Every structure is written in C-alpha cells, then in structure tokens.
Structure 1
C-alpha cells in the first residue's frame, strides 16, 4: 500500500507490514517515520536490529544472508537498509526478498533520494504489494500550519491561529526548527491555551528592551526612545519577524477599529475578533483619536515592505525599514498632540 506520513501511526497500530519503504527528501518526517516503524516493531518483539549502509559498492547478497540467518538474541529482527539509489542489483535483491518474506524479519528501507521513476519500478511495486511505501514531501504552507497545530496539541497546547501562523513564519517550512521551537515552549509554558502574546512575551522577557513598549512609546511621540528600543531589540538578537508581528498586529487592530468607527459600528466585535483585553481597549480608543486612519493604512503597507525585505524579496535592510516606520509613527503622534 501507498500512504502519507500522517497515516503511518494508524497503519502501524493495525498491523506491521513485512516491508517498509520510506523515501523523500524531507529529512525530519523521514527520520520520524523510521523511528515510528522501529518503535512499533520493538513492541511486537523485533528486538534485534541489523543496519546496512548500502553505498555503490554494497554487496546486495548480504540482504538475503541476513534474512536467512538465525537471530542471536531474539526470534525477530529489523533489517534496516539505508540507501540513496538501489540500482539494478539492489532492486533485484529487494524484489527477491518480497517474494519470500520471513515473518521473523521486518525489512525497513530508507531511501531519501528515491525519485518517482524508481517508485514505478518492478521492485518498488513488489514492496507496495506486500508492504508499505511512504514518500515524505515538503509541506505546503497550509499543510505546514496544520502539522504545527497537531504537534502543538500533542505537546499539550491549545494554540490560537495567529500563534501558529507566527511559528510557521519563523520556521519557514523547516520542520526540525519548528519542532525545536515547540520543545522550547514546553520548557517555559504550562500545557493549555497558547496565544501570540505568550510567544512574544517570552521573547520580550529575555530582552532588555521590552517589545511591548515599542508601539506605546512611538504613540507617545518619544522618537528617541522608540529608536533605542528598535535597535536595542536588534542588538539583543530578537528576530525581526517577531517585532514586525507585534507592530503589524496592533496596526491591523487599529485599522479595523478605525473602519468600524467610520461606519458608525461598535468596536466590540473588532476587539473580540482580535482578543483585545479590556486593559488594552481604552488605549486603542485613545490611539484612534491621535492617528488619522489613512496613516494607519499606509503604515500597514510599510509592514508588507518590511516583510518582503525579511524574506529577501526586496533589496533593503528590514531593521532600517522598521526603524523608519516607527519614527514616522512617533512623528505623527507629536504633530497630532501639538
């Protein structure tokens, strides 16, 4: 059978197949899939594990010899073959194995560089007929966020969508980096609800300059201190994407609230949508009296420019762009106060 990564656990719980072929160039999922197979095999009594690193000089007769040899320590063993391309001899050896699989052996083939042509070969079809073929692929953006959500829930968290989106932005599709971030969160946060503020707050707690003070300082018209905070955050090693998220999130709330006021609609639905606490609601209402809505929209467009610079899609320093944007905000606050 041919399955995807998210189906592997359920398949292993149903029954162990005699042969597993794991392939694909997404290393984190590939490693986790192999570990899952080993784990369930061990539970079923496959205690011994024999590993072959099959390079271009590998003698594929060793596969048949290992399958026929009696185990020294247990009645069952995992035969693990790590290979990039099997070639003619490797394909023939695996095909021969599939014709006479042994109930006391489990063959695990890990082939990261196996391409779609090889998966159409006779030997790969032989594996598919009696065992499991799993190809891991790089996740699309939506799939990556779903993967993150599932992993956070497994870790005991109930993440809000914005927090997941932020983590996806930080990891940039790197599953290993994302898994490490989740492990860090487990060290500093108890199980339960996990919000964007929780993640940003953890960064701010470790920085000398408070990330949350940046926008209020700019809105107070303190241009000098606002710039010290921006460059202090950079010097402390804070991720510019985190700073941008904190600023753009607040600007989005301001823009939507300004739009609601212009339409003579209540602000409560906006506050509920963005989970704005009672303590912050008064500050937002005051800010709306300070800044013209057109400026807020312009600043949001500048956030997009910073984001493109962070991703390398614009030839500019994102910290410089961010500093100029914050200074423009502080200067506008001074003019409105005057």
Structure 2
C-alpha cells in the first residue's frame, strides 16, 4: 500500500508526527505501522525509559494523556503506544483536549482496529491537522493476488499463478493470515525460489487433491466422479471443510461463471478484471462456460442460495453435511 510506504519513508527521513491515529477494518497495516514505530522511532537504549505500551481495555483516555504529557528522559522524545484503542470507543472524543494541546516531545500512537471514526468529527479534524490519521481499508479479493506478488517480490521470492490463486481461494482477504503463511514459506524455502502449488500443498496444510479449488475445477469440467470423491472427503472431515465455507465458495464460483456469460467483451484482460481472477485461470472458466448454459447457471445459483440457507441451520436440522453436499452436487449436475 503506497500510503503505508510513504508514512514509513517519512519516519525514516525524520518527519515524525506527534500523533498517529491508525484506524480501519483491516488490522494488518495498523499492526505493521505500530510495529515499525515501536521498533524504529527510538534507539534501543532509549526505550526503557521513554517507550510506553498501553492497552485500551486497561486504561482511560485520562491515563493516556497523563503518559503523553510526560517529558522524555535523556532523549529527544518519548513514544506512547495504545494498542486495541478501539476499546475506548465510547470515550475517544476526550482525546480532543490533548490534540488541542499536545506534547511536542511525545509520539502518541493510537491503534484503533476494526473500526473507523466519522471523519466529520471534530476529533478527526484536529488529529489530521496536528498529526496523521490513517484509514486501513479491507482489500477486495481481486486485489489480494497482486498484493501477494508485491510482498513476495520485496522479499526476493516469486509465485506461480496457481499457487497465488490457491492462497486467495483458501485464505480470502485476511492479510494477516496470508502474511503468516508466507512467512512460514520463507523460513522453509530459499530466497529466489518461485513458490508453486506443491509448496502450498505441502507446507500450508491444504490437501493436494481434496480442496475447494479442486472441487471447483471438477464442477466446471463436469467431472462427477472427482466431485463426488471430494464431497465425500469434505463430509468426512467437516472441521477442515466447513459446509458454510464450501457453499459460499462454490456459490461465488458459479456467480463468476454467470457474469462471464453476460460479458459482451470477452477479451481475457477484461474477463480477468470483471471476474477478479488471474488471467491464468480463464481457460478453466472457458470450460465451465461451454459445459453450463447461462440458463442452467442461473438455476444453479438459485439452488445454491437455498443450500447456503440450509447450511446455516435454517430448516435443515435433519440434514447432515453429507446430505447437503450431495444435494449441492445434484443441483449442479442435474
């Protein structure tokens, strides 16, 4: 994210704000910026006396202001970090008084995760005037693949399209979880390595043959035998393959096929953009397009909506995962 890079570069250049209010639905960048400030604004020997880490559930705004108003000891500045600051949502407006009269030798960091403040509020305008307000927004799934490539490239790795798509398919847009899995791979694999599907299967715990990715391929190709084998595996291992997740991903797959049918411009670049997939996988969607007419795909999507409701326990108390999976495949193949 370019804005995150700019903030870090500004800190490196010595352009350090007195207040950083980091908020938003995506915790990954909030954590990364907080961690960077924690590890880089002060030198190691200055931190014992001049760096304070507080937690929103344990303190009040008055406690935070009290800490922020102190003077540094044998250093040019002190750092006060408030993690889980969203716990102070009810009283956060009390921070206005500090923003109006802040301590210029203090760097105050508020990590306000999973929530945002109304930017029209007086507090936000004050914070933005004297410090920095950063909003960390959730990334759309069709942007995650590019993000994975950029992260890996920055660390000296590359990744094959199929492996990239598998990560997005299985982990969605949870950047923290994806980052943790990539870190595991970097410990195991040498720098310069191109991460492939086999690396994902062997080191992140996804079954090579029995996963939603392979189920989608089997459905698209109308390979009934393979689809039923995968469904049976899912039914026998419900903890690793929750029915709600399976239904959601299969539903999403057929919605993309339906969108593909409706496209006038079937240029690969446009298809990849509209469907939010890697161009590498368009050929798989081409197969599904030939196997399922638009009218049939519409019926499948409608049927999957009903199964999704049942998978969430509405009107299906007597149906097991095995029965629901069987019903899903019957809906698709018949």
Q: TM-score per shorter chain, which class?
A: 0.5 to 0.7
Residues 120 and 189 of structure 1: CA distance in aligned 2, closer, same or farther (over 3 Å): same
Deviation per CA, 1:204-242: give whole Å up to 9, x if none. Answer: 996798999xx99xx9x995x98556524653576569x
Measure the CA separation in 1 of the matches of 2:328 and 2:288. 19
Residue of structure 2 equivalent to 1:331: none
Residue of structure 2 equivalent to 1:50: 52
**Quick check: 1:46–1:78 contact (8 Å CA) kept in 2?**
no
Give the deviation of 1:127 after TM superposition: 3.0
Residues 32 and 305 of structure 1: CA distance in aligned 2, closer, same or farther (over 3 Å): farther
Give the deviation of 1:32 after TM superposition: 1.8
Give the match's secondary structure for 2:38: helix
Residues 166 and 314 of structure 1: CA distance in aligned 2, closer, same or farther (over 3 Å): farther
Measure the CA separation in 1 of the matches of 2:168 and 2:306. 13
Give the match's secondary structure for 1:107: strand
Give the deviation of 1:51 after TM superposition: 3.4
Residue of structure 1 equivalent to 2:318: none
Measure the CA separation in 2 of the matches of 1:222 and 1:172. 26
Give the match's secondary structure for 2:179: helix
Give the match's secondary structure for 1:116: coil
Measure the CA separation in 1 of the matches of 2:306 and 2:198. 23
Residue of structure 1 equivalent to 2:272: none
Residue of structure 1 equivalent to 2:26: 26
Measure the CA separation in 2 of the matches of 1:171 and 1:311. 25
Normalized against structure 1, the TM-score is what? Answer: 0.58
Residue from 60, 66, 69 that aligns with 1:67? 69
Map 1:229-308 → 2, pairs under 5 A:
231-232=232-233, 235=236, 297-298=291-292
Measure the CA separation in 2 of the matches of 1:34 and 1:74. 20
Could you list the runs of 5+ residues in structure 1 that have no partner in the other structure?
249-272, 276-292, 329-338
Give the deviation of 1:182 after TM superposition: 2.0
Measure the CA separation in 1 of the matches of 2:118 and 2:169. 30
Give the deviation of 1:74 after TM superposition: 5.2
**Quick check: 1:24–1:137 contact (8 Å CA) kept in 2?**
yes
Measure the CA separation in 2 of the matches of 1:325 and 1:202. 34
Give the deviation of 1:294 after TM superposition: 9.5
Please say if 1:164 is aligned against 2:179: no
Give the deviation of 1:107 after TM superposition: 1.6
Residues 167 and 38 of structure 1: CA distance in aligned 2, closer, same or farther (over 3 Å): same
Cα RMSD (Å): 5.2
Larger Rg computed on CA atoms: 1
Give the deviation of 1:6 after TM superposition: 4.6
Residue of structure 2 equivalent to 1:38: 38
Normalized against structure 2, the TM-score is what? Answer: 0.59
Residues 69 and 196 of structure 1: CA distance in aligned 2, closer, same or farther (over 3 Å): same
Residue of structure 2 equivalent to 1:107: 108
Please say if 1:320 is aligned against 2:323: no
Please say if 1:11 is aligned against 2:14: no
Deviation per CA, 1:108-134: give whole Å up to 9, x if none. Answer: 1223344124x641x433432343221
Measure the CA separation in 1 of the matches of 2:332 and 2:59. 61
Deviation per CA, 1:66-94: give whole Å up to 9, x if none. Answer: 433453x7554212243435545321122
Measure the CA separation in 2 of the matches of 1:129 and 1:326. 56
Deviation per CA, 1:18-41: give whole Å up to 9, x if none. Answer: 321111232232222211221221
Residues 209 and 188 of structure 1: CA distance in aligned 2, closer, same or farther (over 3 Å): farther
Residue of structure 2 equivalent to 1:92: 97
Map 1:207-226 → 2, pairs under 5 A:
none
**Quick check: 1:145–1:165 contact (8 Å CA) kept in 2?**
yes
Map 1:118-197 → 2, pairs under 5 A:
120-121=121-122, 123-191=123-191, 192-197=193-198
Give the match's secondary structure for 1:68: coil
Q: How many residue pairs align between the two structures?
A: 279
Give the deviation of 1:193 after TM superposition: 1.4
**Quick check: 1:22–1:110 contact (8 Å CA) kept in 2?**
yes
